[in-house]
Amino acid sequence: MEVPFLPSTRDAALSQALIAAIDNKTKPRGSLGMLESLALQAGLVQGTTSPRLHGASMLVFAGDHGVVEEGVSAYPQSVTWQMVENFLAGGAAINVFARQSGMALHIIDAGVNHDFGKRDGLISRKVGPGTRNFAQQPAMTAGECETALRHGMALVADLGANANVLGFGEMGIGNTTAAAAIIHKLADTPIADCIGAGTGLSADAILHKGRVIEMAVAHHSHATAPLDVLATFGGFEIAMMVGAMLKAAERRMMLLIDGFIVTSALLVAARLQPSILDYCVFCHCSNEHGHRHVLKKLHATPILQLDLRLGEGTGCALALPILQAAVNFLSQMATFDSAQVCTK
């Protein structure tokens, strides 16, 4: 299938103008550290020396995973739909943090193994009742994968011009196993470096999870192209995020990247369109073993390091104020001239 072409945001003249504007603010050069690189990036994504954020929104994609049959998760599959209910009732961590950060929260059923019926506040894009067990067969067909990608793109297109910064979150029991397999395949990272405790596995259970992935990878050795890897090991929520990310970057939004699973979706998108990384803000380094490795592969510097390992997009909502501060200092601080402060 065709995916949007994403140009690099590189622009030498605009970079120079942005750096001059940043350096003219009343502070020692470079003293706002990562906020200065975020301000530069925001300017480049928006193609202006006066970037602004508006309509910050969070998309949380939920989906189930057949591979839980192999005993790879500490929690039963039913927790996926129960947590979706929790999102709808406003009681989960992402509800609290999105509310605090002023983000509009959208919950999408990408493929949960549960019939929610018609529900206010739930965006139903169910591709199927969870994926198949990839230890036995591909998690989805190429057609299902394409459907998920298209839904993701359409969801972002529907947001229109109402938002220019978009957070990505997920919920899906078993999805650290899917993400680990994708990262192993697409980032050339040893399986041992991709697996972690997820929601709370013991050391033995982590080893078992590694063996499940190892056997599945051997079984599906033909899958090497990004979309094949996605269809073989991914989840409906992961595939839908890939589509949403590609469309968001095409719309020149800034993409807030959360933890391990969201980064696995980004990895697929980046293998299709490498310049997508220009649009991404890496919100945090998660405590899920493996996230650190994939961030390094992507040459990504995360904003926060708070030992989070929750998902749901929580890292995005927590990091948004830092991105906002970067944009705000650029637009609101005085210059040495305007404030009549001596330079060196």
Active site amino acids: 312
Q: Does 314 help bind a second copy (rule: CB under 8 A)? A: yes
Choices 57-65, 213-221, 239-247, 307-315; region in contact with a second copy by CB under 8 A? 307-315
- Angle 324-328-331 (CA atoms, 0-180°, nearest 5)? 145
Choices 28-36, 115-123, 220-228, 271-279; region in contact with a second copy by CB under 8 A? 28-36
The 269-288 site mask, x for binding a second copy (CB under 8 A), equals ------------------x-
Residue labelled with tokens 């750096």:
19
Of 3 and 171, which CB lies nearer to a second copy in the complex structure? 171
The 97-126 site mask, x for binding a second copy (CB under 8 A), equals x-xxx-------------------------
Strand-pair partners of 59: 106, 168
Q: Does 91 help bind a second copy (rule: CB under 8 A)? A: yes
DSSP SS3 for 223: coil
Q: Give the integer Cα–Cα distance in Å for 42 and 62.
A: 29
Calculated CA dihedral for residues 19, 24, 25, 29, nearest 10 degrees: 70
Q: Does 307 help bind a second copy (rule: CB under 8 A)? A: yes
Q: Which of 60, 303, 316, 323 binds a second copy (CB under 8 A)?
A: 303
Q: Which of 2, 12, 13, 31 binds a second copy (CB under 8 A)?
A: 31
* Structure-block tokens of residue 31: 């003293």
> Which residues, in sequence order, are CB contacts of 62 under 8 Å at separation 6+?
80, 81, 83, 84, 87, 107, 108, 109, 110, 111, 112, 170, 171, 172, 237
Amino acid at 152: G
DSSP character at residue 91: -
Q: Give the integer Cα–Cα distance in Å for 215 and 267.
A: 22
Choices 46-54, 128-136, 232-240, 328-336; region in contact with a second copy by CB under 8 A? 328-336
Residues that bind a second copy (CB under 8 A): 25-35, 74-76, 78-79, 82-83, 85-86, 89, 91-93, 95-97, 99-101, 199-200, 287, 303-310, 314, 318, 321-322, 324-325, 328-329, 332-334, 338-344
